[in-house]
Chains A and B, each alone.
Chain A
Amino acid sequence: MKKDNIKFIQGNEACVEGALYAGLDFFAGYPITPSTEIAELLSYRLPQRGGKFIQMEDEIASMSAIIGASLTGSKVMTATSGPGFSLMQEALGYAIMAEIPCVIVNVQRGGPSTGIPTHVSQGDVYQARWGTHGDHAIVTITASNHQDVFETTVHAFNISETYRTPVILLYDEVVGHMRERLIVPKKGELPLVKRLRTSVKEGVDYHPYLPREDGRLPMSDFGGVHRYNVTGLFHDMWGFPSDNPKIVHGLLRHLVDKILNNVNHITRYKEYYLTDAEIVLISYGSSARSANHVVFSRRPRGERLGLLELQTLWPFPYDLVREKCSKAKYIVVVEMNMGQIMQEVRRAVDHPEKVFLANRIDGVFITPTDIRNILRLIQGKGV
C-alpha cells in the first residue's frame, strides 16, 4: 500500500506542511538558524502551487512585506528565531493595531542576543507576549511533536483569520530540527477558516474596522472595490487616524478583548493522568517530551504524576491551569528558561507556594533525568 502521506522529516518541515495545508500563498523571510529550513522549503514548494516566496533584505522587511501581502488577500507567514524576532516587533505591533491576519514562526534558540544559534532554549515566551510596545493581546501557540506542529500551524492560520490578528508559532530548536514521523491529513480532514470578506457592495460605504454582531471584522482586499485607509495610528472605523479619547479607548479595548474574551476557543492543550495526579507537571514545546517520558515511566511504579501540556501559551489559560492543578500537592513547571511560564502558573493557581521550576538554561536539552532529579529535590528525597 502506497503511503506517501507519511513523512520522516524535521519539525520545520512539518510546519511547512501545515502552512501549505492551511492555504499559505505568500512567504517573506530571512535566513536565521534554526528556522532557515522553513524558508528554503517554501522557496521550493510555494511556486509549485502558484504561491509567492521572497527572501527580503532583513527581518523588518520580511514582517512588513507579509503585512502588505495579507492586505491583498493572501494567507501569509514568516519564520525566524530570537534576534530576527526582536527586529520584527515594531511591524508585529502594526499588524496587531491594523488587525492584519498573519503567522510568525519563531524557532527559539539560546539567547539573549546572538546567544547559541544551534542550541535550544524557550527564552522568548515573555517576548512573544510583550515584545512589541503598548498594551496589546497576542496569540502564541507551541507544540512538542511533529503531528502537533502540523496541527498547531493549521490552528494558527485559523485563529489568525477568525480574529484578524497575527499569531506567533513559538517552536524551539529541538522540535524544529529533530526528525520524526508526520502523517499528513487528507484534504478536508482538518477544518480551515477562510478569510471573511465583506458582502458590502461596490459604491456602498465599507467600514474596515467595524465589527459584525459576532465580533468578526470582514475584510476587503486591496485592489478590490472598496478603497480605504490602513494605518498604525489609532483610527476610526474607516481606518482614518484619530486621537479622540472615546475612539482610542474603544479601539484598544477591542484589540485586547477580542483575544482575551475568546481564551476557551483559542486554547489547545493535552493532558495525561491529571485526574488523580499528586504532582502535576506543566510543560510545552520540546520540554514536554521529557516531562511526558517522566510521567509515563513513573506511573507504572505507582507514582501519581500527571502532565498538562500547554499548546497555547498566550492568552495564558489561567482558569484551565487553576482547575487542573486544584488537587495537586506539587506543581512543577518544566521549561528551558528561567521560569517564564512558571510565573504565569504561580499567578493562576490557588497555592503559588506549591509551584516549582524544573529547568535547564545551558543550551542542553532538558532530559527526563534532569526532571527526576529536581522532583527528588522538591520531594525532599535528595539526589
Chain B
Amino acid sequence: MAIKDYIRERFFPHIWCPGCGHGTVMNSLLRAIDSLGMSKNEIVMVSGIGCSSRISGYVDFHTLHTLHGRALAFATGVKLSRPELNLIVPMGDGDALAIGGNHFIHAARRNIDLTAVVMNNRIYGMTGGQYSPLSGYGTLATTAPYTNIDYSFDTVKLAMAAGATFVARSTTYHVQQLTKILKQAILHEGFSVVEVLTQCPTYFGRKNREGNAVDMMESFKKNTTPIGSKAKVENPDLIERGIFIQKELPEYCSEYEKIIKRAMTKFET
C-alpha cells in the first residue's frame, strides 16, 4: 500500500498493544498526508511523551520526540523559524491537556499553523494506567482505585474557547471520517485541533470493564453521533463527531512576516 512509503518499516511491528487505537490513528493520518501529495521533506512531526507520542519514531518525516507536554512549544519554535514547513503534533490526552495544557491554550490563542492531534484514550498508558484529565468522573484507574472524582475537559470546547480556528473530533471506528478530517486539519492555515477517541484496551478498557478493542470501538460507534444530529437532540449524552469550527483568521507566522517587513522598512541599514 502506498502509505507504507511513509513508515520506517525497520521498526515494525510497533510497540503498541494488540488492538491499540493509536495504530489506527497513524494509519488514518498517513492516508490523509498521502492524499495531500506533500513531499516528506516538508513535514515535521513533533510529539511529546507517552504511548501516542511514540508515533513519531515510526513515520518517515523529520521527527522530534520531545518532553512530556511540551510538543506544541517545540513545534512553535520549528514553525516560526521555518514557516514553510508542515507541522503535525500528535499528543496524548494527558500530554496535551494536563502537563501540556498551558502550551495547548497558548498555541490555540496564537493561531499558529500547527495540526494538533489529541489521541485521547482517557488514560496514561505508558506509565501503567493512571487517570488523566480526560478519564471522567466515576472511572477507575491505578491512581483512582476508589473511582475518579475528577470531571473531564471537553477538548473541543476548550480548544474553541482558547481560539483554535479548526476544531474537530472523530474516533478510531470512524476511520474514513477521521482521514477526511485530518486532511482538512492539515490544510487549514491556522491552529487545528483534532481530538480522536481511541481505545486503550489494556488499561482503560480493562479497568473500566469496557471490553476488548472491538468492544471499545463498538462503543465509539454507539456513543457518538454527527454534529447536530436528531439522535443528539434525543440523547444529549451522545458525543458529537465532525468539524465544530473552521474559520480563517490571521495566522501567527504570516502576521510576524508583516512585522519583519515593517521593521526592515523603518530601519535603514
CB-based contact A68/B260 at 8 Å: no
Please give, as numbers and ranges, the residues of chain B lying within 8 Å of A74 by CB-CB distance: 81
- Tell me the B residues contacting A by CB distance below 8 Å: 11, 40-42, 44, 46, 56-57, 60-67, 70, 73-82, 84-85, 102-103, 106, 256, 259-260, 262-264, 266-267
Please give, as numbers and ranges, the residues of chain A lying within 8 Å of B77 by CB-CB distance: 26, 28, 64-70, 76
Please give, as numbers and ranges, the residues of chain B lying within 8 Å of A371 by CB-CB distance: none
Q: Kindly state the interface size class of chain A when it binds its partner.
A: 35 or more
Please give, as numbers and ranges, the residues of chain B lying within 8 Å of A76 by CB-CB distance: 77
A52-B80 contact given A57-B103, A68-B46, CB 8 Å threshold:
yes
Interface centre among B67, B79, B267 (most CB of A within 10 A): B67
Kindly state whether residue A185 has any CB partner on chain B within 8 Å. no
CB-based contact A61/B106 at 8 Å: yes
Kindly state whether residue A304 has any CB partner on chain B within 8 Å. no
Please give, as numbers and ranges, the residues of chain B lying within 8 Å of A66 by CB-CB distance: 77
- How far apart are the CA atoms of A229 and B266 in the complex, in Å? 41
Q: Can you list 5 A-B pairs, Cβ within 8 angstroms, ordered by A?
A: A26-B77, A47-B264, A50-B264, A58-B102, A224-B41
Within the complex, the shortest CB–CB distance from A155 to chain B, in Å, comes to 24
Please give, as numbers and ranges, the residues of chain A lying within 8 Å of B267 by CB-CB distance: 48
The SS class assigned to the B binding surface is: helix
CB-based contact A61/B70 at 8 Å: yes
Nearest-CB residue, chain A, relative to B106: A57
A72-B76 contact given A47-B263, A48-B264, A64-B67, CB 8 Å threshold:
no
- How far apart are the CA atoms of A228 and B57 in the complex, in Å? 9
Please give, as numbers and ranges, the residues of chain B lying within 8 Å of A227 by CB-CB distance: 40-41, 60-63
- How far apart are the CA atoms of A222 and B65 in the complex, in Å? 13
Within the complex, the shortest CB–CB distance from B92 to chain A, in Å, comes to 16
Nearest-CB residue, chain A, relative to B267: A48
- How far apart are the CA atoms of A224 and B39 in the complex, in Å? 11
Kindly state whether residue A196 has any CB partner on chain B within 8 Å. no
- The contact string, 1 if C-beta is below 8 Å from chain B, for chain A 71-91, is 111101000000000000011
- How far apart are the CA atoms of A67 and B84 in the complex, in Å? 18
Within the complex, the shortest CB–CB distance from A70 to chain B, in Å, comes to 8
Nearest-CB residue, chain A, relative to B109: A57
A65-B73 contact given A26-B81, A72-B82, A74-B81, CB 8 Å threshold:
yes
Q: Which of A52, A54, A228, A233 contacts B62, CB < 8 Å?
A: A228
CB-based contact A47/B260 at 8 Å: yes
Within the complex, the shortest CB–CB distance from B112 to chain A, in Å, comes to 9
Kindly state whether residue A171 has any CB partner on chain B within 8 Å. no
- How far apart are the CA atoms of A222 and B73 in the complex, in Å? 16
Q: Which of A52, A64, A233, A240 contacts B70, CB < 8 Å?
A: A64
- How far apart are the CA atoms of A280 and B74 in the complex, in Å? 46
Within the complex, the shortest CB–CB distance from A109 to chain B, in Å, comes to 24
Please give, as numbers and ranges, the residues of chain A lying within 8 Å of B11 by CB-CB distance: 240
Which residues of A169-186 have CB atoms within 8 Å of chain B's CB atoms? none
Nearest-CB residue, chain A, relative to B65: A231
Please give, as numbers and ranges, the residues of chain B lying within 8 Å of A67 by CB-CB distance: 66, 74, 77
